[in-house]
Amino acid sequence: MTQSTLDNRRDQMFPVLEAAEIERVRRFGEVRAFADGEMLVRMGDVGHGLAIILDGRVDVTRHEGNQELMASYGPGGFMGELAQLAGRPGLLDAQAKQAGKALIIPPDRLRALLIAEAELGERIMRALILRRMAILETGAGGPVVIGPADDGDVLRIRGFLHHNAYPHQGLDPRTDPEAQALIERFHLDTDVLPIVLCPDGEFLRNPTEEELAHCLGLLQPIDPTRTYDVAVVGAGPAGLATSVYAASEGLSVLVLDCRGVGGQAGASARIENYLGFPTGISGHALMARAYNQAAKFGVESAMPDEAVGLEIADGDGPAPFVLKLANDERVRARSVVIACGARYRRLEVKDLDVFEAASVHYWASPLEASLCAGQEVALVGAGNSAGQAVVYLASRVAKVWLLVRGAGLEASMSRYLVDRIAGLPNVELVTQAEVSGLEGNGGKLAAVVWRCRTAAEPVRRPIQHLFLFVGAEPNTDWLSNSGIARDDKGFILTGAAAGSGHRLLETSRRGIFAIGDVRSGSTKRVGAAIGEGAQVVAALHDFLSTTP
């Protein structure tokens, strides 16, 4: 039986600070008293920050039918997890079981503590991360998504929560008695499933990602009067790298993304050729670490918030650039870094859009793998992302049909992935093949048809899930009226290619930079994107030093 994070790393999750350590951090907070029985934190409410217990005792519990004890803190223990680092709503309840006092460190001062007290800050940060991991394993404290597990909207909602590392539970009324009990208890209309029960008790009927993010406190209004030093569009590896390096050097940073953390890199099942991780790491885990690092340095985030336009402000004020968002908000910034990456191409096959919600997938996460466990699946693509997905899915499904248009994988996939795929007995490589038809009803696939140029007849297989990794195109349509120069494929020109005298990574509009997959001529690799994210900060400093 696999041990949980709570069982396996309890000492690191719940360290007890010594008296001398508490004295060192007193300057970051204020002491407040609490009474026996007082609720210090309620699930769904924004807390006051990290709470170091000086006297008394506090129990932290989660909702799971009855209140279940997660931890009990006495003198030297501290309450909190990653929500307190960013000032987000709490995921658990905390109630005093014995009157006492606590040192309350608000989020901004907590971030200052983590940087100023490096060794102690490392222990605290590790504990906050591990506590979030334990909460994610149980789903405690998050919303409950009620609806069929294979429903397209259920997959959309749970996919959003998964990509943003937010705990949740999925209850299928066809198989979960608890789901049926909730439907009957609250007199819910099953015709409008899925329904999301938020931690504060609010019900949302088939919400958009933005509506759900507002309900969970993940998305806050942007101050229209504030001017950021840097606005970063895109929270993939390039955008997060820019955010971390810029914020660590004292710049005020806001990072936006229309979906969540990680971009396409976050969908990689396992990255094994990224420097420093010899045993490999999932793209989701790598990007989650980067996001937590950005939060540590005070980067503000707005997700899901989609940029739909870019304006140059009139006059010589401190905010020459204004980002227009889909929700009609505006972001003012002295500089802009475009790191919005690329989006996966869609197959030119009839009725693809009919099956995209529930049966056609553009990434392979545990959520998708659980839907097709023990089945046959088809996967189209010959790049590294496709290879990583094949290896991941092969361990969970009966068979993977790998369809590629070329004569093999060697020209477009790393050697280690080619060799690994060749050794998987339940993967069948079909070369010079193209999907020619999709069959099914009610938005759910029943069969996939493909043609091989070397065969006279098409092949039809009873397949219910199709994975597509067929290359990408730049996500730059929103820049059509910005005056930013792009190449004939839509990728953004930078440096000398954008015009004489432009800084490295700077676009044809001074003060606006492009990095990562969206940039013309970039190397489409996670390591390269992170490198450009670090590199662009030097150009930002150079530009900002010449502006008011």
Quick one: average pLDDT of 181-200?
A: 86
Q: Give the Cα separation of 75 and 84 in Å (integer).
A: 20
Q: What is the pLDDT of residue 63?
A: 67
Q: Which residue has the higher pLDDT, 328 or 4?
A: 328
Q: What is the mean pLDDT of the chain?
A: 92
Q: Please answer whether residues 447 and 463 qualify as being in contact, where contact means their C-beta atoms are separated by less than 8 angstroms.
A: yes
Query: Do residues 529 and 506 touch, judged by C-beta distance below 8 A?
Result: no
What does the DSSP 8-state code read for residue 378? E
Distance set, CA 373 to CA 370, 397, 413, 423 (Å)? 5, 5, 25, 20
**244, pLDDT greater than 60:** yes
- Tell me what pLDDT residue 66 has: 60
The pLDDT value recorded for residue 65 is 52
Q: List pLDDT tens digits, range 461-484.
A: 999 999 999 977 899 999 988 989
339 three-state secondary structure: coil
Q: What is the identity of the amino acid at 306?
A: E
Q: How confident is the model at residue 163 (pLDDT cuts 50, 70, 90)?
A: confident
319 Cβ contact list (under 8 Å, min separation 6): 227, 313, 332, 333, 334
Cα Rg of the chain, angstroms: 25
**Per-residue pLDDT, 295:** 95
| Residue 354 pLDDT > 80 | yes
Span of 79-93, 180-194, 516-530 with lowest mean pLDDT: 180-194
Contacts of 115 (CB under 8 A, 6+ apart): 121, 296, 297
The residue among 399 and 318 whose pLDDT is bigger is 399
**Which of 26 and 524 is assigned the larger pLDDT?**
26
pLDDT bracket for residue 192 (50, 70, 90): confident
Lowest mean pLDDT among 86-90, 246-250, 328-332, 402-406: 86-90
Percent of the chain residues topping a pLDDT of 70? 97
Taking residues 366-390, report their average pLDDT: 94
**DSSP 8-state class, residue 58:** E
Query: Binning pLDDT at 50, 70 and 90, where does residue 8 land?
Result: confident
In contact, 242 and 232? CB cutoff 8 Å: yes
Digit-coded pLDDT (tens) for 483-493: 899 999 999 99
pLDDT above 70 for 344: yes
Of 214-218, 224-228, 500-504, 536-540, the poorest mean pLDDT is in 500-504
Q: What is the pLDDT of residue 70?
A: 87
What is the pLDDT at residue 416? Answer: 94
Distance from C-alpha of 259 to C-alpha of 208, rounded to nearest angstrom: 11
Overall average pLDDT of the 213-236 stretch: 94
Arithmetic mean of pLDDT, 451-460: 92
Is 1's pLDDT higher than 50? Answer: no
**Per-residue pLDDT at 5 exceeds 70:** no
Residue 523 has pLDDT above 70, yes or no: yes
pLDDT of residue 49: 93
Report CA torsion sign: 49, 51, 57, 59: positive
Using CA atoms, how far apart are residues 536 and 497, in angstroms rounded to an integer? 16
Among 181-185, 211-215, 241-245, the range scoring the smallest mean pLDDT is 181-185
Residue of 263 and 239 predicted with greater confidence: 239
Report the 10 Å Cβ neighbour count for 38.
Answer: 14
Q: Which domains does the chain have, with CATH numbers?
A: 5-138 (2.60.120.10), 144-216 (3.40.30.10), 227-343+473-544 (3.50.50.60), 352-470 (3.50.50.60)
Q: What is the pLDDT of residues 106-131, one digit of tens each?
A: 999 999 999 999 999 999 999 999 99
pLDDT exceeds cutoff 90 at 45: no
Report d(CA 138, CA 469) in Å as an integer: 31
Which helix (H) or strand (E) is 313 found in, with range?
A: none
